[in-house]
Structure 1
């Protein structure tokens, strides 16, 4: 059994951002009551530095495909989606991902076999280490008086956002020949 993550991207109608975010917070709180729930986060436009993205993204993780499926097929989720419907435009873009391999998939290209896990681990470390280091250099002194749990929350939110939309895509471009050497679909 392995953890599974789903990334849902939605276009919110202009002026409906606050209502959409309120409903999403309720959906996430409801998902947290389901067996196998590991966590979720709503990424709002502008949460990532240097990214011009008008989409809202929800990253949600469960401990197994079965737990995710139970959530996705639940009446509680259906009610939440119905409550969010008046605030969104178009269809949801949904990507199911396992582990961190989705960071290494080139955007806009045909799907390739994922790189070996050890290569994904190397690229992940190459992104996370300097990202955490720089964040601690920039924010360390500012965060010292904060409670430990809040410092960890802020740093991990920033690391995940930066890794997903800035650092990992760039590393993937730079290391693509090495990552995909010998992989075929």
Structure 2
């Protein structure tokens, strides 16, 4: 395994951003945020981005699940690549375009320590294998995070609805980290091991 390949997957970072969208601005916000996610995809180290709508994983629409809260997930392979995106003019332009459609301050939660999910196969023996390509890491990360967040919103959405925004986000993201690290990610990497780490074809 080359040193650059190892370093690239050593410290992946996932950022969960929560925004409150103004009434009637949801379509414009979704379109604008979609362009921002597309812009992030062009940056080095980008692993994935996903927009979570208020109706995804909540009872929503009845006023008890705060249907104006939207969540966005950005993932990069290193903190340095995340910082490069966060300091970029493209992100600044995206934030300026999103601002007219939101109210209040955005809530940002950074999650780290995900690299060990894909460092090498679960239970691997002998020499370390080459880590999977970034697009496979992105696919498996999304396969784990999306249903986990969805299930947590279904189970805890109404219970946490009366809480202030920041404590609610802190609880949900902490649960996502715990579940992904000790429950979801180990099973996904085990189930998808042949796809993530295909056996090299020996020369005849």
Shorter-chain TM band = 0.5 to 0.7
Matches within 5 A, 1:87-126: 87-99=101-113
Deviation at 1:165, TM superposition (A): 3.1
Partner of 1:140: none
CA offset digits 1:41-70 (Å, max 9, x no partner): 000101114462331000110001000000
CA distance in 1, matches of 2:34, 2:27: 11
Partner of 2:201: none
8 Å CA contact 2:56–2:150 kept in 1: the answer is no
CA distance in 2, matches of 1:18, 1:30: 19
Question: When the two structures are superposed, what TM-score results if normalisation uses the length of structure 2?
Answer: 0.52
Partner of 2:121: none
User: Runs of at least 4 residues of structure 1 off by over 2 A?
Assistant: 154-158, 160-170
2:149 to 137, 161, 165: 161
CA distance in 2, matches of 1:97, 1:156: 14
Aligned length: 124
Task: Confirm whether residue 17 of structure 1 aligns to residue 26 of structure 2.
Answer: yes
Moved more, 24-33 or 161-170: 161-170
8 Å CA contact 1:4–1:61 kept in 2: the answer is yes
Matches within 5 A, 1:13-162: 13-50=22-59, 52-53=65-66, 54-99=68-113, 159-162=147-150
Partner of 1:147: none
Question: When the two structures are superposed, what TM-score results if normalisation uses the length of structure 1?
Answer: 0.57
CA distance in 2, matches of 1:72, 1:32: 13
Structure 2, unaligned runs of 5 or more: 1-9, 117-139, 157-170, 183-204
Secondary structure at the counterpart of residue 159 of structure 1: helix
Structure 1, unaligned runs of 5 or more: 101-116, 118-151, 180-185
Partner of 1:137: none
